Amino acid sequence: MNAIQNRYEFVLLFDVENGNPNGDPDAGNMPRIDAETSLGIVTDVCLKRKIRNYVEIAKEGETGFDIYVKEKAVLNRQHERAYKALDLKPESKKLPKDEQKAKELTLWMCANFFDVRAFGAVMTTEVNCGQVRGPVQINFARSIEPVMPEEISITRMAVTKEQDLEKERTIGKKALIPYGLYRAEGYLSAHFAEKTGFNESDAEFLWNALVNMFDHDHSAARGKMNARKLIVFKHADKLGNAPAHKLFDLVKVTRKDNATSPARAFTDYSVSIAHSEVPEGVTILDRL
pLDDT-based confidence at residue 68 (cuts at 50, 70, 90): very high
Above pLDDT 70, what percent of the chain?
99
Give me the chain's average pLDDT, please.
Answer: 94
What is the spatial distance between Cα 239 and Cα 231, in angstroms, rounded to a whole number? Answer: 20
Residue 153 is predicted with a pLDDT of 87
pLDDT-based confidence at residue 168 (cuts at 50, 70, 90): low
Q: Is the pLDDT of residue 74 over 80?
A: yes
pTM (predicted TM-score): 0.93
Residue 166 is predicted with a pLDDT of 74
Digit-coded pLDDT (tens) for 26-54: 998 999 999 999 999 999 999 999 999 99
Q: Is the pLDDT of residue 165 over 80?
A: no
Q: Is the pLDDT of residue 164 over 80?
A: no
Q: Are the beta carbons of 47 and 28 closer than 8 angstroms?
A: no
Q: Is the pLDDT of residue 55 over 90?
A: yes
What is the spatial distance between Cα 186 and Cα 286, in angstroms, rounded to a whole number? Answer: 15
Element (H, E) at 88: none
Q: What are the angstrom distances between the C-alpha of 108 and each of 79, 97, 112, 200, 276?
A: 10, 17, 6, 19, 44
Name the CA radius of gyration of the chain, rounded: 22
Choice between 65 and 159, residue whose per-residue pLDDT is larger: 65
Average pLDDT of the segment spanning 115-120? 98
Q: What are the angstrom distances between the C-alpha of 173 and each of 30, 156, 157, 169?
A: 10, 11, 15, 13
Choice between 257 and 23, residue whose per-residue pLDDT is larger: 23
pLDDT-based confidence at residue 154 (cuts at 50, 70, 90): confident
Q: Is the pLDDT of residue 171 over 80?
A: no
Residue 158 is predicted with a pLDDT of 78
pLDDT-based confidence at residue 156 (cuts at 50, 70, 90): confident
Q: Is the pLDDT of residue 1 over 80?
A: no
The Cβ of residue 65 has, within 10 Å, a number of other Cβ atoms equal to 18
Digit-coded pLDDT (tens) for 182-223: 999 999 999 999 999 999 999 999 999 999 999 999 998 899
Q: Can you say how many angstroms the Cα of residue 52 is from the centroid of all Cα atoms in its chain?
A: 8
